[in-house]
Structure 1
Amino acid sequence: MTQAANVWQWPLQGKEGAVKVIEDRRHFEVGLDATYFKDEDITVKVIDNQMEIMLEHEQRTSRFGVVKRTINRCYRLPEGVDPRTVRHHLYNNVLYIRGDKRWY
């Protein structure tokens, strides 16, 4: 598998804030830091070749005060990805998104 030149900016992704999208001729995948969010806080929508990722949790009280977090980002799917195949899952605070490429 090769790394594509495609890089997404992601606010929770450490100091540099950049995430490399991994793709080959069959699929793409990306892992985004989703610390602070649960599966029910996450929505991923795909329309044509655009993907919208929304993470939002309700207002919570912590020892630091009241916290509400919201992330909303849109990205263009890598070339050739079939939008109907895009799936996501949360594992160990990482939101994994994957999609298969069309076969010609």
Structure 2
Amino acid sequence: MDFALDSLSKEELQQLKTDVEKALKSVDARRKAEAKRAAEQAAKEFGYSLDEIVDAGGTKGSKGAPKYANPTDPAQTWTGRGRKPNWVINALDSGKSLDDLKI
């Protein structure tokens, strides 16, 4: 394809840009759909669904098992890494130690 871009007006160039962006998104969507079908077929050959394979991979970015739990709300946990949650800070300020919060 050969375009004489120099001969197009600003509005025509902007429309061309918009059309190209739409076409690229369409190509990406088709390729992703093809990749998903291929992955589903590969999983099926091993007797699994793609969802089963993806779920078996674990949580992306998992930071490890929790080591501490909030005594007033055991659903709130912390691995001991990264920034301390507010409930840990409050517990420490009230005189508790990290050992008191261990699971």
Query: Structure 1 length normalisation: TM-score?
Result: 0.23
Bigger proportion of residues as strand: 1
TM-score, with structure 2 as normaliser = 0.23
